[in-house]
Amino acid sequence: MNDNPDAVLDGDTEPIAATHPVAMPRIPEKKAPPITSRFLFVDVSSRRAKQLRRGALPRLAALRPDPETGQRPEVTSRLERIAMEEVEQGLVVYEVIKDKSSEEPT
């Protein structure tokens, strides 16, 4: 028995590389409806830009990481512009919550 760790690999076997799953962005199953209000568009895209600044993966096809290697393409646009493009393509799911204080009591 040899205590040398290099002696374990006799040339016929390859060391098993640890395979880690590659993180991929969550793409919604169905696209979000188009936003007609520019105020809602600004609100949704600003929240998405905040997520991107904090490290979220872009959902645009050109900016997704390679599924095999995990290599991310270089981002040449500003994150705000990427967020606006994602919202325009319906890749950001949002929910409009009705304000109960503006409704009349019954």
- Give pLDDT tens digits for 54-69: 988 888 888 888 778 8
Q: Where are the domains of the chain?
A: 34-100
Question: How far is it, in rounded angstroms, from Cα 48 to Cα 86?
Answer: 9
Phi-psi region of 90 (alpha: psi -120 to 50; beta: other; left: phi over 0): left
Rounded Cα distance, 51 and 56, in Å: 6
Average pLDDT, rounded, for the chain: 79
Q: Tell me which residue of 71, 89, 96 sits closest to 31, measured CA to CA.
A: 89
Instruction: Give the pLDDT band of residue 20 (cuts 50, 70, 90).
Output: low
Helix axes of 38-53 and 79-88: crossing angle, nearest 10 degrees: 130
Give Cβ neighbours of residue 80 (< 8 Å, ≥ 6 apart). 45, 46, 49
Looking at CATH, the fold of the domain delimited by 34-100 is given as Eukaryotic RPB6 RNA polymerase subunit (3.90.940)
The more confident residue out of 8 and 97 is 97
* pLDDT score at 13: 46
- For residue 52, give the H/E element and its range: helix 38-53
The whole-number pLDDT of residue 48 equals 94
77 pLDDT band, cuts 50/70/90, is confident
